[in-house]
């Protein structure tokens, strides 16, 4: 289990004068689930997007096994960006499903159009994956005909269909009505149990506690604290972590 | 009111519309849309020179009268040794014109597609071009149907300018009959009626098309 999948060192990112990431290190082993937590604006989304090439850090190095070793102190080529992107798949906060395509088309689009998987084969796999999240009967529905929880499950299936090494989630449940959160977290928990490697930005502490192997607390663009969920949640070392967890659990204080 | 003349000239004018106005508008619109997509992409380009080119084009087309554009092509170009027949001249002028106006519509429609759609396309592995073609343009197309229908209806009316370079279309038919019978009021009103009928049918088609699209968006 010590098979390293992702190594990021000293990741920095500035938007203009605003330094959002100030040297973040991240190691992810195959089969591991890493949760990124932290206050709003701490850089969680920016870090996650950097892993997928949606954001280009201003400094640092990043290597995803099987992909290029990137050094952000020099310009990243389009080819390297694509190679990096091929290793992972992203599940967005606002699902970002393609509204003009059916559920099945959404899931097959990447495999068929980009990966050149034969249509019949891609369709079979898409239906298997949809079946697994309980949405096989929605194959011909359009995204707007689905509930938020169903949309997000399709978003997850669209990511899985790319057979990525790494699944990235950016607060996949925070745009959902409370009663729909459970169905999405259940799917994610099952994926973790099946051995998918995942980096999850989340405010769902009970999920992080139950599923994550490691929790990183990001604050002001640096990792202030990292460790096993039991340690971070029960015995945080840093005062900032303690405050953050307290606020999250007692929003009225 | 000379009803006999009205009745005998009605079909010639309508035929001028069906054989002249509508084909001229359709061909110019089709070519104009392709041009407009290109100009819109120039306008959206990150390359400042290309973006400037697109802006300059739109500015010139929208900042000068269509009649002047038409005359430059038909009467002006021959002095540079380029002589084009009336019909193709009209097609060139109207296509260039649609290219300028529709470019702004298409640009706005592309910008109205949320950034998240581009990002989702990238994360399923698409290049910029493929994301544009498969994900963004189909969504932009739906948004731009109502404004582009308006552009088309305006174009149908604007093609009457082609009568000034002697293209046989609806208004030209009315002019020809008017100059033979001297009943200008009758024939020009009749021409107006024919344009109005055409545009009413087109608006009706536009409403139906928009309703159908609403069901999918
Ligand atoms: N494209 C951008 N341009 C300018 N500033 C940006 C951009 N993207 C993010 N930022 C800024 O970077 C900071 C960190 O943003 P980020 O989205 O990574 O935080 P986050 O930890 O995900 O917060 P949240 O919990 O609210 O999602 C914020 O102050 C944000 O305003
Ligand atoms: Mg965020």
CATH topology of domain B3-214: MetI-like fold (1.10.3720)
- Tens digit of each residue's pLDDT (9 = 90 or more) over A90-148: 999 999 999 999 999 999 999 999 889 999 999 999 999 999 999 999 999 999 999 99
Out of 3.40.50.300, 3.40.1080.10, 3.40.1390.20, 1.25.40.10, the CATH code matching A1-87+166-252 is 3.40.50.300
pTM of the model: 0.89
Cβ distance of B127 and A82 shorter than 8 Å: yes
- Judging contacts by C-beta atoms under 8 Å, the chain B residues touching residue A52 are 123
B210, B213, B215, B216: CA torsion to nearest 10 = -160
Checking DSSP bridges between strand A18-29 and strand A4-15, what pairing results, if any? antiparallel
**Per-residue pLDDT at A250:** 85
Checking DSSP bridges between strand A166-170 and strand A4-15, what pairing results, if any? unpaired
> Residue B129: is it exposed, middle or buried by C-beta count within 10 angstroms (0-12/13-18/19+)?
exposed
Ligand 2 center to A45 CA (angstroms): 4
**Residues forming CATH 3.40.50.300 domain(s) in chain A:** 1-87+166-252
Taking each helix axis as running N to C, give the angle between helix B86-112 and helix B137-158, from 0 to 180 degrees, rounded to the nearest 10: 140
Average pLDDT of chain A is 93
- ipTM, two decimals, is 0.92
> Residue A160: is it exposed, middle or buried by C-beta count within 10 angstroms (0-12/13-18/19+)?
buried
pLDDT score of A24 more than 70:
yes
Domain ranges of chain B: 3-214
Q: How far is B112 from chain A (nearest CA, A)?
A: 14
pLDDT score of A1 more than 50:
no
User: Which residues, judged by CB distance below 6 Å to any ligand atom, belong to the binding site of ligand 1?
Assistant: A 15, 18, 20, 38, 40-46
pLDDT score of A252 more than 90:
no
């Amino acid at each position: 289990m010590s098979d390293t999948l992702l190594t990021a060192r000293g990741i920095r990112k500035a938007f203009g004068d605003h330094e959002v990431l100030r040297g973040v290190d991240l190691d992810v082993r195959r089969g591991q689930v890493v949760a990124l937590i932290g206050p709003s604006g701490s850089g969680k989304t920016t870090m996650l997007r950097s892993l997928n090439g949606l954001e280009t850090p201003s400094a640092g190095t990043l290597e995803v096994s099987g992909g290029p070793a990137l050094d952000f102190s020099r310009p990243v080529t389009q080819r390297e960006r694509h190679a990096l992107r091929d290793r992972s798949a992203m599940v967005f906060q606002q699902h970002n499903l393609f509204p003009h395509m059916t559920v099945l088309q959404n899931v097959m689009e990447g495999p068929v159009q980009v990966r050149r998987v034969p249509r019949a084969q891609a369709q079979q796999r898409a239906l298997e994956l949809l079946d697994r999240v309980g949405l096989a009967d929605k194959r011909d529905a359009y995204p707007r005909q689905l509930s938020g929880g169903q949309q997000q499950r399709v978003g997850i299936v669209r990511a899985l269909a790319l057979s990525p090494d790494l699944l990235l989630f950016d607060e996949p449940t925070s745009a959902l009505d409370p009663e729909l959160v459970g169905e999405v977290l259940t799917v994610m928990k099952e994926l973790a149990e099946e051995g998918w490697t995942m980096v999850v930005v989340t405010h769902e502490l009970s999920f992080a506690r139950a599923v994550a192997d490691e929790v990183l607390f990001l604050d002001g663009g640096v990792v202030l604290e990292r460790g096993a969920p039991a340690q971070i949640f029960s015995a945080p070392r840093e005062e900032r972590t303690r405050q953050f967890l307290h606020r999250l659990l007692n929003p009225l204080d | 009111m000379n009803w006999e003349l009205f009745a005998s000239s009605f079909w010639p004018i309508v035929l001028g519309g069906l054989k002249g106005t509508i084909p001229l508008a359709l061909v110019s619109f089709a070519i104009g849309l392709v041009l407009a997509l290109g100009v819109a992409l120039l306008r959206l380009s990150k390359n400042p020179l290309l973006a400037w080119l697109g802006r300059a084009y739109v500015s010139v087309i929208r900042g000068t009268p269509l009649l002047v554009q038409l005359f430059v092509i038909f009467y002006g170009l021959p002095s540079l040794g380029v002589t084009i027949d009336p019909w193709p001249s009209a097609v060139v002028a109207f296509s260039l014109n649609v290219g300028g106006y529709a470019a702004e519509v298409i640009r706005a429609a592309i910008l109205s597609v949320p950034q998240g759609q581009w990002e989702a396309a990238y994360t399923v592995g698409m290049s910029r071009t493929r994301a544009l073609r498969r994900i963004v343009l189909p969504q932009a197309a739906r948004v731009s149907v109502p404004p582009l229908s308006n552009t088309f209806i305006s174009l149908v009316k604007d093609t009457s300018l082609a009568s000034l370079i002697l293209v046989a279309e609806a208004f030209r038919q009315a002019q020809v009959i008017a100059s033979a019978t001297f009943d200008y009021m009758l024939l020009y009103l009749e021409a107006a009626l024919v344009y109005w009928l055409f545009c009413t049918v087109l608006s009706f088609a536009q409403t139906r098309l928009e309703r159908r699209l609403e069901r999918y968006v």
